[in-house]
Structure 1
Amino acid sequence: MDFDLTDDQRLLGESVARLLADEYAFDQRKKLLGVAPGWSEALWARYAELGLLGLPIPEEYGGFGGGAVDVMLLQQAFGRHLVLEPFLATVVLGATAIREAGDKALQEEFLPAIAAGECKLAFAHYERQSRYDITDVLTTATPRNGGWVLEGGKSVVLHGDCADKLVVSARTGGSREEAEGISLFLVEGEAEGLLRRGYALRDGTRAAELSLSGAAARLIGPKDQALPIVERVVQAGIAAMAGEVIGAMEAMQAMTLDYLKTRQQFGRPIGDNQALQHRAAEMLVAMEQGRSMAMLAAMSLSEADPAERARSISMAKVGVGQAGRFVSQNAVQLHGGIGMTDEYAVGHYFRRVMVIEHMFGDTAWHLDRLADQVQ
């Protein structure tokens, strides 16, 4: 694989980094966490003006036609600043579901609105009992009056509390944990029979629990055959989040080096201690290993073989998860007591990386998947 970035990709990363450096200081982020909706609507409109919300959307629908590597680079910049806006939920998860499941008419209806910042989506698939098993779906869909109604519940729906519309999986056939019989539906955010309970995750980002009781829904994609689409959406989410972890690790590495150079103890910087220098070097090695795996995840999304694509994505999830945990833990430890406080940024990066590790299957779960393939 060719891991070199194009000039356009480098320019994208640099321009977004400049924007966020000016508009997304740590103190500004802390203020956003304290007021509804928990992110900046003004910045969301700015992202739309700059074309960031249309980055992976085809040009025919008002986007830029970028690929997974472009999204990874944008997420990397977002990770350096702990961005709170619902880019992942809407542009990565939601738009991927529309592209994979929708016909041309549906894409024409929603993709331009997503690119313009006029429609926020959320992807609601996981349930309380399912943990990381994407085939474990108990929510049901029943035909009624020429449409469908949904019964059940969904858990940890990223930015599900602010979404205008939700892409919801439900069973139209089969039994629990059966691959066949899963379909995808669109549900209005204010639909009768839909109850949303929003809350903040441990890192401050927003999620919601959904309760569906006779909520009207619109079938999108093939009936009973949506599992491959769900897999595609999850894999796109893993690849995008891998990029975010790389950005967070870059920020933690830079903060830690600065702290080692400036923190004085016994009349000299603690970075003069050779053991701490070795630890910082190990953090750098882990971060670069994680960067390679994040690039692998992004480039693997175009792999035509589903089994090979799933294998590469799991390898990347494990590699990035291990690197993120190592860098985060060492960054907090090398900062000492200050690293554990809410007033200092490194602890916020640590929490974000730990939340990401448990999204779409944690490191141990993906290791088990890889082990099953070699037995």
Structure 2
Amino acid sequence: MSKRDYYEVLGVSRDAGADELKKAYRRLAMKNHPDRNPGDEEAESRFKEASEAYEVLSDDQKRAAYDRYGHDGVAGAAGGGFGGGAGFGDIFGDVFSDIFGGGGARAARGADLRYDLPIDLEDAVNGVEKAIHIPTWDDCETCDGSGAKPGTKPKTCPSCQGAGQIRMQQGFFSVQQTCPTCRGRGEVIADACRDCSGRGRVEGEKTLSVKIPPGVDTGDRIRLTGEGEAGERGAPPGDLYVQINVRAHDVFERDGNDLRCAVPLSFVTAALGGEIEVPTLKGRATLKIPEGTQSGKTFRLRGKGAPSVRGAGVGDLLCTVRIETPVNLSSKQKALLAEFGDTVGEKHSPEEQSWLAKAKRFFEERVK
């Protein structure tokens, strides 16, 4: 039975690059591996076929010979047992090294940190610069971050010989895993530094200045690159994320880029109209009240809200009036109100009359 074209086996074009070849082989190997398909001879056959194709096409010299002479050009260099080339364990380990942590020993990058920063609404709208104090891990000055006692050095790990990884072989299947002795560092410390107990880091505190742009809101994050936890033994530090939390305000509520506020209004001003003064985050503003204003009416003051943190304009201030019923009236005031009430007809209370009409129809329908 003639062999299939290696490019056809992997499902790639003849000009496929190394990354494309590796990706195609990894997909086929994971799908057809005997450990995943016990007793399935067809899957095992496809697995061996894909492995043979990848062994040839991933080697520049073998691939050139195959492209020129076909299967005859690589006879003896591929096929059962992978004669003349690397064993399957090496191929499989190389392909899956990115999954199982291959690539040699690497010191761990420092962890990212989060700092919750509460601010006032005024600072969120106008922008502000804040000083924050954060606990941190700093490189140990005694050992210069090595973790070893001054005058000594870390030694190469005897288990992984400095690779940080060990390879486990089970039949055809070969995987790499982090060395348990050195935890992937490739080195072990015989004499630990007293000040940091071999960690290479010590606890500390630092003060940072955070520039908060105008328009931030609760949930926004400000990233301070490199201000997170220090990395192990000279590895780069993580980042610090400052999480904004805007405190509740006594007067205003945030609604996106708009601000809202409730404004008490006397029933005299609501009936006759007039002007009232309202606060804004930029100072005072005058609100014109038309004659006959009803409770719940909302007035918009454009450009008096919060700016967009992304530069998409400025929001508005929305003032909702609440008609206030007078209290603690004198006898004279009560008499005047009673006299006024006797003069008020249906045309003066349109909403009341409309509601009474609806209520009347409701009761009439219930009786039927």
What range describes the TM-score normalised by the shorter chain of this pair?
A: under 0.3
Structure with more of its chain in strand, by fraction: 2
Structure with more of its chain in helix, by fraction: 1
Q: Decide which structure has the larger Cα Rg and report it.
A: 2
